[in-house]
Amino acid sequence: MDVLLWIGWFCTVVVLFFMVAVGLFGSLALKAPSWDLEFLALAYHDWTRRGLTDRKHSMSEELHMQRYIGHKQVAEEPDLEERGRIVRTIAVLIGSNDHDALQAQLDTRSHELLMTALTSVFRSVENISNLNVASRVWVLRRWAALSVVLWHGLKWFLPRCFRQVARVIERYMAAATILGIAGGLLVWGFSRDLSESKEGGIAWVNFVGVVVTVGTVVALVLAVGRQFWQVAVAVIGPVHTWTRKGIMSAALLFGFTAGMITLVRTGAWEQWQRDASKFLTELLMDTPAGDWVGKILFIAVIMFMIYRSFQWARAKRIKVSDRITAVGAAIFFTSMGVLLILFIFDAPREVVLPVLYATGHVIAFFGLLNAIFSVAGWIGKYRALRRAGIEIRRGWFRWWILWTWISVAIALSALASIPPLAYAALNDTPYYLPFTAVTMLATLALFLSFWPGAFTVVRFVIRVHNTYTRHEFELGKIQLDATLSAATDDQP
């Protein structure tokens, strides 16, 4: 075993840990403790401005609103204790003795950066009425603002930190250099017989150089270790408050991380991955376990989808049409799970077919209900725009054409249900040929006009939805401005 190699590797791990800690605390130096709380309040302000807080939402709106704030739980109050630990650690790393002055400086600068970030993010979505686009722009601008804050923190912290590290290392380096030269010369001189030595004159220079290099590296690690110790005291507290469990946990964490880095660098981790992948491939491909694993995973996915669908169905803040859709989706996934179980156990056809038929009818029923509620909601938006006196560009869309097309389709469907004997009786009358010609022309007209008509109707529906969204957006802005103006006038 090459001892020097392992000493070098240990020193590398220690320095790596220190650099990670420096980067972490430096980036957090100018991030305000109320960052998440302020952005949550700003998100609620934007939702209020859009009129989203006083009505029910669709699933898509709920997902877009969730994108604003993410999935992280935000505390009701900023964690000032955590902020205090960060400031104490920064004070140790930059060698500051005036903790209160440092905290005041960091709080002032972090508040300025927070206000700048809030203003820039809000202005980026201020005039975007589409909630989907606004939520995506919000996320991108918030990440950009956070990156700017982290960069300013590093730019402020790193020069001060490295100057302090240089001051600490300087004392260790001087002692390590002197002891390395003196000790190296003494060891080389008393361990060599000059009369019998076949080494060149440069041998002692190489030996002393190695000793000095190892000594300076060890001194560097000791200096970094001293900084680590002070950081631990600043973060955790005085040594007498440390518990045995905490010490063991920290030691295990350090050992695990160092071990994983060692395994990766030596190639042992990659070899283990190849062996594990080969074993799993043989197990899943050459044994029945693969089929069962796939079935279990598929059932687990279906159960998760059922759970999510029922969550949407139970959410009272969601529109009724979307809750009905969620119930239909839950029934669909439940039937899929039942059918999968039936297929796994080779259930007879007499059992599978009724389940399929029942599932199809139930899904069709809930789909019809969802369509009815969706159409009713769209009509409500259209009527609201008409009452507000807002003109909607119709393009090629005309109501009389739509109703004519629907009426002809219903009439042809009714004619298709006439018994064949009635057509035989009509064959002997002079109306047969005109009736047949009109029916064929109407069928051809319906067939040729379906896709252009559907495209025109869909465009009009989307145009009404977008116009209503913009109208609701502008109305929310007016109401919010009026509320703020009234609140300002009421102040003494």
> What is the Cα–Cα distance from 313 to 373, expressed in whole angstroms?
15
Which of these ranges, 178-192, 334-348, 393-407, has the smallest mean pLDDT?
178-192
Residue 152 reports pLDDT greater than 70: yes
88 shares a domain with 24 = yes
Q: Is the pLDDT of residue 150 over 90?
A: yes
Residues 299-310 have pLDDT tens digits of 888 899 999 989
pLDDT of residue 418: 62
Higher pLDDT, 208 or 132: 132
Last-in-domain residue among 337, 354, 387: 387
Number of domains composing the chain: 3
Residue 90 forms part of a structural domain:
yes
Structural domain contains residue 266: no
**CB atoms near residue 117 (< 10 Å):** 23
Say whether pLDDT at 147 is over 60: yes
Q: How far apart are CA 203 and CA 31, in angstroms?
A: 55
Q: Looking at the predicted structure, is the pLDDT value of residue 314 above 50?
A: yes
Note whether 49 and 184 are same-domain residues. yes
Shared domain for 360 and 415, answered yes or no, is no
**Do residues 28 and 97 make contact, with C-beta atoms less than 8 angstroms apart?**
no
Q: Is 391 left (phi over 0), alpha (psi -120 to 50) or beta?
A: beta
What are the backbone angles phi and psi of residue 318, rounded to the nearest 5°? Answer: -95, 150
Q: What pLDDT does 185 receive?
A: 67
Provide the token pair at 103: 């905290």
394 inside domain: no
Task: Based on the fold, state whether residues 8 and 132 are members of the same structural domain.
Answer: yes
116 vs 373 pLDDT, higher one: 116
The crossing angle, in degrees rounded to 10, of helices 268-286 and 244-266 is: 80
Alpha carbon 480 to its chain's center: 30
Same domain, 420 and 383: no
Q: Which pLDDT value is given to residue 1?
A: 45
Its domain, for residue 163, covers: 3-242
405 and 453 in a single domain? The answer is yes
The C-alpha atoms of residue 38 and residue 114 are separated, in whole angstroms, by 9
Given a contact cutoff of 8 angstroms between Cβ atoms, the answer to whether 283 and 289 are in contact is yes
pLDDT grade, residue 424 (50/70/90)?
Answer: low
In a domain, 248, yes or no: no
Residues 18, 127, single domain; the answer is yes
pLDDT at 143: 93
| Residue 24: inside a domain | yes
In a domain, 226, yes or no: yes
Specify the pLDDT at position 429.
63
pLDDT, tens digit, 9 for 90 and up, residues 427-482: 666 666 677 777 788 888 888 888 888 898 889 988 888 888 888 777 776 766 66
Question: pLDDT digit string (tens) for 375-390?
Answer: 888 888 888 888 888 8
Check pLDDT > 70 for residue 416. no
pLDDT of residue 140: 94
Q: List, for residues 42-95, the tens digit of each pLDDT value.
A: 988 888 888 787 788 888 888 888 888 877 777 777 777 788 888 888 888 888
